[in-house]
Structure 1
Amino acid sequence: MKILKKAAAAALVAGTVVAGGVATAAPASAATYGGECGSGYSVVNSKSIGSSGTVFLTYNSSNGYNCAVAKRNTAGSAILIEVGLSISPKGNHWDAYEGDYFTSYAGPVYLSAAGSCVDWAGRFNGGTWYGKDGTNCG
């Protein structure tokens, strides 16, 4: 009887360690660009939006257009997601903008900016804008 209790206790401890390992081993996934702008667009810049997601700037060399997408790390219930893209300096508004309640990402928004630099950013739930100004000139 004593041997059975030890075996049961050892199994319980092993099960707890395995369960604990499984619960803590899964790291938060980071947003990755998944071709949301369409074929021919490649990521040329990106910026983390806090710990919630990433805003991606892509470019299509065949048509000369920039594209921006703000994407959550993990899709979930709909939240306010915004993305903006402008010829630098943007002034009081974005040249290309999308903002609404989405489960995964806002955008894509497109802009032809040949010979210019661009400002681009994204945000979640009306928080801080994360992006870059005056980049990817050309």
Structure 2
Amino acid sequence: MYAIPESGTRAGTLEVYYNSSSGKNCALTYGYGSTAGTTTFKAAAIRVAGGSGVIDSGHYAHYAGPAYVSASGKCIDVSATAGNADRYLSGAHCG
């Protein structure tokens, strides 16, 4: 779990999962504080590092995602937005 943004007033939580059976990574963005349970812009995006990917975004009350990418044995880039706050992970969850 990663706070959105990395520092300052938290607006959301980014969660990243890996399913070894399917070889897929998954990203979800949850609201926190003022963005939890209220319809605000939320986005979850995931891709194989440096490649193309998948995004789920919109005005959601609870969460954006899940967004999936097949990344077995590779690093991923993940980004999340909750309200006006962003978080980006580059070259993460390699394996």
Question: Residue 128 of structure 1: CA displacement?
Answer: 4.3
Show structure 1 runs of 5+ residues with no match: 1-45
Distance 1:72 1:128, change over 3 A: closer
Deviating 4+ runs (over 4 angstroms): none
**Larger RCO, structures 1/2 (Cα 8 Å, 6+ apart):** 2
Q: How many residue pairs end up in the alignment?
A: 89
Does structure 1 retain, via aligned residues, the 8 Å contact 2:29–2:43?
A: yes
Quote the residue 2:15 is aligned against. 56
Indicate the structure (1 or 2) with the bigger Cα radius of gyration: 1
Percent identity between the aligned chains? Answer: 29
- Give the SS at the match of 1:119: strand
Bigger fraction of residues in strand = 2
Counterpart mapping for 1:58-137 below 5 A: 58-74=17-33, 75-90=36-51, 95-125=53-83, 127-137=84-94
Q: Tell me, what secondary structure is at the counterpart of 2:72?
A: coil
The equivalent residue for 1:35 is none
Provide the rounded CA distance (Å) in 2 between the counterparts of 1:69 and 1:53: 10
Give the whole-Å Cα distance in 2 for the aligned partners of 1:68 and 1:52. Answer: 16
CA deviation string 1:81-101 (max 9, x = no partner): 0110011125xxx50101101
Q: 1: CA distance between counterparts of 2:41 and 2:4?
A: 13
CA RMSD of aligned residues (A): 1.6
The structure richer in helix per residue is 1
* Partner of residue 2, structure 2: 47
